[in-house]
Chain A
Amino acid sequence: MTLKILGAAVAAAVGVTALAAPALAQNEQFIPALVYRTGAYAPNGVPFANGIADYYKLVNARDNGINGVRITTEECEFGYATDRGVECYERLKKKGPTGAAYVIPLSTGVTFALTEKTATDKIPLITMGYGRSESRDGTVFHWNFPLLGTYWTASDIILQHIARKEGGFDKLKGKKIALVYHDSPYGKEPIALLTERAKRHGFETMFLPVTHPGVEQKATWLQIRQQRPNYVLLWGWGVMNSTSIKEAVAVGYPRSQMYGVWWSGAEPDVRPAEGGATGYNAVTLQHTAGQFKVHEDLKRHVYDKNQGSAKWDETGEILYVRGLINAMLGVEAIRTAQEKFGKGKPMTGEQVRWGLENLNITADRIKQLGFDGVLQPIRVTCQDHEGARTGRIQTWDGKNWKISSDWYTSDDKVIAPMVKDAASKYASEKKITAGCLN
């Protein structure tokens, strides 16, 4: 009897779902969320994931979705493990009426692993501020979008800033610049640019790898103390960043001569070192910390209704803001795609790829979106999947991040030939015919 009732209930539930699902699904745009809210990198993964989740909530609550198409999302926890990240992607890529609109892995390891898969599955891979530097070449990397900056852009901006401090690139001759990096594809990315710049300007480089997760760096920092480089660039993630800053304090290396990439320049990186981090610098992925115009909408439509993913005080933190920006760029790509393929319809990955490749966020649009003063205009093309390569330097004053430089733009005279070489090499290895997709 009990079994019969259970069977009937299951049948009824399946029936209801079968009826309801298509009706609901027609006007939904599914976006998977690969997150790491646990594990060694959780302090960095959580605020980023919260920013993304809250932006989707805001678009649904304030605008009733993208031209009426509501965003649905599902988080998959992968703990920053590449294998689990790929599993998450495989599990979520076909969900929703049109499959995944795009995927944001927030992991260079997962990005490397997915680069070929997403091309086969026709799902864009948005890697805002990370991934392969040469993947900005959209004629080869059709499905990769390293929006706002690659690691070659980041390291070039840092070197430009150092050169300006020293009085010009010619003054770098004979100087020593060390790179303390996460011993992974991510950490190794700036080596090519630094080597190229060192060859041009005659400075010496020193590459010091730190193995995952980077909790023990004594030997690295003793080498820095003994060899006294003029500047240290930090390419870390998670606990490695705060440990580096603490070790710099322990060996007395001046924090003012340290420059982190944008993944080494958030609150979890400096707070554990407390006052010791004062004077430490990082290049920005355009934005810094703080609450902006978009936060007013977030407060009204999300947080005042107790729908926020974070605590309100945390919504001005760097990685949360970065999550908001990343989600906004994805939403704007879907909106752009709808302009061509039909307003009010969910887009396929292929259509969103077109939207990303034709993304043009002007200063006016940035203002409308509530990111005025935070971002500069972004224009993506088939040849340029980076869209913008500008940044500033920010400095930790002991309590807050403060912008401490003007805008810099990475030098394409140096970077463009490197991108061309590396992308051509990749294309010939993978037998990709370079050119724009439709």
Chain B
Amino acid sequence: MLGPIIETLIGGLLTGVLYALVALGFVLIFKASGVFNFAQGAMVLFAALSVARLSEVMPLVFAVAIAVVIMVVLAYVIERLVLRPLVNQEGIILFMATLGVAYFIDGFGQTVWGSDIYKINLGIPKDPMFFFEGVFPGGILIDREEVAAAAVCAILVAGLAIFFQVTRTGRALRAVADDHQAAQSVGIPLNYIWLIVWAVAGIVAIAAGMVWGSKLGVQFSISLVALKALPVLILGGFTSIPGAIVGGLIIGAGEKLAEVLLGPILIKTFDLAGGGIENWFAYMLALVFLLFRPQGLFGERIIERI
């Protein structure tokens, strides 16, 4: 029994890294602008479609480079046409605007690139790896693709950490995240910062889109992966990059262990037609964490004195 539990735990942790990849894009934008970007899933789809369709006619490296340009242009257009006119509006207005952006990108992406299933081949072998075959019957299975995704995620987080800590723009981003007005008063241009942060979120969307696209094939459903990032954000906090990672790991491991261990018990106890508990269990897990840490695991505690 221990072997399957360890295997499920490892599989869950690796899947959690994939969720964290998507959650990172949400965190970046929320941290810098206080906007919950509902369009992040659509951006992942659009980025993946761009890479997949471009890589049909050119080497993958060039396709990724052009996709970066496309995502920066998209960030510019969103900043210019959607965010700038809404400066100083309520957060909910900005959220609703991103809802519109999501539907637009979903439709526009499929119109431009098509709605079939496209491939992104990262050259990762699909065969599983087995460890400890002498200890556990059948060994412990690990998915190579997910290990590669974890590596991509680690590189991204390291890159983002360097960007935020070392570069001038990164420091400006942190300043804006801490206090918009104070940052503006010392001459940090808010519009420029928003453009940068949306562009960085776009690049993170390319990474997430490539990993998920390689796993599932590039198709509309990739945009729905964003739904898997929501409990990660609730748990990890909307403003913390480490929170997105740790939240992803907890949600990934929690939902898989629940499905494998708790699901069959619930089916037997309540005579259910099936399990399928992992989707709602992820949210329940996040809500339980919120009972004890309302700001999320790594979120900033809001104390308002009156």
Shortest Cβ gap from A384 to chain B (Å) = 28
B45 to chain A, nearest CB (A): 11
A251–B143 Cα distance when bound, in Å, is 8
Given A43-B116, A219-B8, A222-B7, are A211 and B279 neighbors across the interface (CB < 8 Å)? yes
Q: Is the CB of B220 within 8 A of A40?
A: yes
Is the C-beta of B37 less than 8 angstroms from some C-beta in chain A?
Answer: no
Q: Indicate if B59 sits at the interface (CB-CB under 8 A).
A: no
Contact B117 A271 (CB under 8 A): yes
Judge whether B91 is part of the interface by a CB distance below 8 angstroms: no
| A246-B216 contact, Cβ under 8 Å, with A209-B276, A219-B255 | yes
Any chain B CB within 8 A of the CB of A276?
yes
Enumerate chain A residues within 8 angstroms of B126, measured Cβ to Cβ.
246, 249-250, 276
B-chain residues with CB within 8 Å of residue A303 when the two chains form the complex: none
Closest chain-A Cβ to B16's Cβ sits at a distance in Å of 10
Chain A's interface: helix, strand, loop or mixed, by majority?
A: helix
Give complex CA distance A214, B279 in Å: 10
A252 to B110, Cβ gap below 8 A?
Answer: no
- How many of chain B's residues touch chain A, expressed as a range? 35 or more
**Which chain B residues border A186 with CB–CB below 8 Å?**
none
Task: Enumerate chain A residues within 8 angstroms of B15, measured Cβ to Cβ.
Answer: 216, 218
Q: Is A210 within 8 A of B141, CB to CB?
A: no
CA distance A223 to B259 in the complex (A): 9
B117 and A222 contacting across the interface, CB-CB below 8 Å:
no
Closest-by-CB residue of A relative to B142 is: A250
Shortest CB–CB separation between residue B266 and chain A, in angstroms?
Answer: 12
Residue of B117, B145, B228 touching A250 (CB-CB under 8 A): B145
- Say yes or no: A251 contacts B128, CB within 8 Å: yes
Q: Is the CB of B274 within 8 A of A181?
A: yes
Closest A residue, CB atoms, query B225: A215
Task: Please judge, given known A-B contacts A38-B110, A250-B126, whether A242 and B216 are in contact too, CB under 8 Å.
Answer: yes
How far, in whole Å, are A191 and B272 apart by their CA atoms in the complex? 12
Whether, in the assembled complex, B112 has its beta carbon less than 8 Å from a beta carbon of chain A, the answer is: no
- Give B236-292 interface residues, CB cut-off 8 Å to A: 255-256, 259-260, 263, 273-276, 278-279
Q: Assuming A252-B128, A271-B117, A272-B217, is B4 touching A210 (CB within 8 A)?
A: no
> B180 on the interface (CB 8 Å rule)?
no
Please, which residue of chain B has its CB at the minimum distance from the CB of A39?
B220
Q: Does B119 belong to the interface (CB within 8 Å)?
A: yes
Instruction: Please name all residues of chain A whose beta carbon is closer than 8 Å to the beta carbon of B276 when the two chains form the complex.
Output: 183, 209-211
Given contacts A46-B115, A181-B274, A272-B119, contact A219 B141 (CB under 8 A): no
Interface status of B107 (Cβ within 8 A of chain A): yes
In the complex formed, the residue of A with least CB distance to B118 is A272
Cβ B12 vs Cβ A218 within 8 A = yes
Q: Are B224 and A40 in contact, with the CB atoms below 8 A?
A: yes
Residues of A within 8 A of B165 (CB): none
Q: In the complex, which residue of chain B has the Cβ closest to the Cβ of A207? A: B274
Q: Is the CB of B275 within 8 A of A40?
A: no
> In the complex, what distance in Å separates the CA atom of A274 from the CA atom of B143?
17
Least distance between A412 CB and chain B CB atoms (Å): 25
For residues 109 through 158 of chain B, which have their beta carbon under 8 Å from a beta carbon of chain A?
A: 110, 115-117, 119, 126-128, 138, 141, 143, 145
Whether, in the assembled complex, B215 has its beta carbon less than 8 Å from a beta carbon of chain A, the answer is yes
Q: Which residues of A contact B256 (CB under 8 A)?
A: 218-219, 222
| With A40-B221, A213-B221 as contacts: A208 and B117 at CB distance below 8 Å | no
Q: Closest CB of chain B to A185's CB: distance in Å?
A: 11
| A33 to B145 Cα, complex, angstroms | 40
> Shortest CB–CB separation between residue A239 and chain B, in angstroms?
4
Confirm or deny: B98 has a beta carbon within 8 angstroms of a beta carbon on chain A: no
- Is the CB of A27 closer than 8 A to any CB of chain B? no
Q: How far in angstroms is the closest Cβ of chain B from A43?
A: 5
| B107 contacts across to A, CB distance below 8 A | 38
Tell me if A220 is interfacial: C-beta within 8 Å of chain B: yes
**B209: Cβ under 8 A from any A Cβ:** no
Task: List which B169-217 residues lie within 8 A (CB) of chain A.
Answer: 212, 215-217
Question: Contact mask A206-244 → B, CB, 8 Å, 1/0?
Answer: 011111011110111011011000000000001100110
Q: Are B220 and A242 in contact (CB under 8 A)?
A: no
In the assembly, what is the distance between CA of A328 and CA of B4, in Å?
51
B141 touches A252 (CB 8 A): yes
Q: Is the CB of A222 within 8 A of B220?
A: no
B296 contacts partner chain A, Cβ-Cβ < 8 Å: no
Whether B116 and A268, one on each chain, are in contact in the complex, defined by CB atoms closer than 8 angstroms, is: yes
Tell me whether A215 and B117 are in contact (CB under 8 A).
Answer: no
A210 vs B221: C-alpha distance in the bound complex, in angstroms?
14
The answer to whether the Cβ of A188 comes within 8 Å of any Cβ in the partner chain is yes
Question: For A222, what are the chain B residues with a Cβ–Cβ distance below 8 Å?
Answer: 4, 7-8, 11, 141, 256, 260
With both beta carbons as reference points, the residue of chain A lying nearest to B5 in the complex is identified as A226
Please determine whether A43 and B225 come into contact, CB atoms closer than 8 angstroms. no
Give every chain A residue within 8 A of B7 (Cβ-Cβ): 222, 225-226
A249 vs B215: C-alpha distance when bound (angstroms): 11
When the two chains form the complex, which single residue of B216, B260, B274 contacts A272, counting CB atoms closer than 8 Å?
A: B216
Q: How far is the CB of A383 from chain B (nearest CB, A)?
A: 30
How far apart are the CA atoms of A193 and B212 in the complex, in Å? Answer: 36
Contact yes or no, B219 A209, CB < 8 A? no
Is the CB–CB distance between B110 and A42 below 8 Å? yes
A37 contacts chain B at the CB level, 8 A cutoff: yes
Residues 171-203 of A at the B interface (beta carbon under 8 Å): 181, 183, 188, 191
Query: Which of B7, B263, B274 is packed against the most chain A CB atoms within 10 Å?
Result: B274
B-chain residues with CB within 8 Å of residue A242 when the two chains form the complex: 117, 216-217
**Whole-angstrom distance between the Cβ of B19 and the nearest chain A Cβ:** 9
Contact A183 B274 (CB under 8 A): yes
Interface residues of A (CB under 8 A from B): 37-40, 42-43, 46, 181, 183, 188, 191, 207-211, 213-216, 218-220, 222-223, 225-226, 238-239, 242-243, 246, 249-252, 268, 271-272, 274, 276
Question: Which 5 pairs between the two chains have the least Cβ-Cβ distance?
Answer: A272-B217, A209-B274, A219-B259, A209-B276, A42-B115
Given A191-B273, A219-B8, 4 additional A-B pairs, CB 8 A: A46-B115, A46-B116, A215-B221, A223-B260
Measured CB to CB, the residues of B under 8 A from A are 4, 7-8, 11-12, 15, 106-107, 110, 115-117, 119, 126-128, 138, 141, 143, 145, 212, 215-217, 219-222, 224-225, 228, 255-256, 259-260, 263, 273-276, 278-279
* 29 examples of A-B residue contacts, CB within 8 angstroms: A38-B110, A38-B115, A40-B219, A40-B221, A42-B115, A42-B220, A46-B116, A183-B274, A191-B273, A211-B279, A215-B216, A215-B221, A215-B222, A215-B224, A216-B15, A216-B278, A219-B8, A219-B259, A219-B278, A220-B259, A225-B7, A226-B260, A239-B216, A242-B117, A242-B216, A249-B127, A250-B141, A250-B143, A268-B117
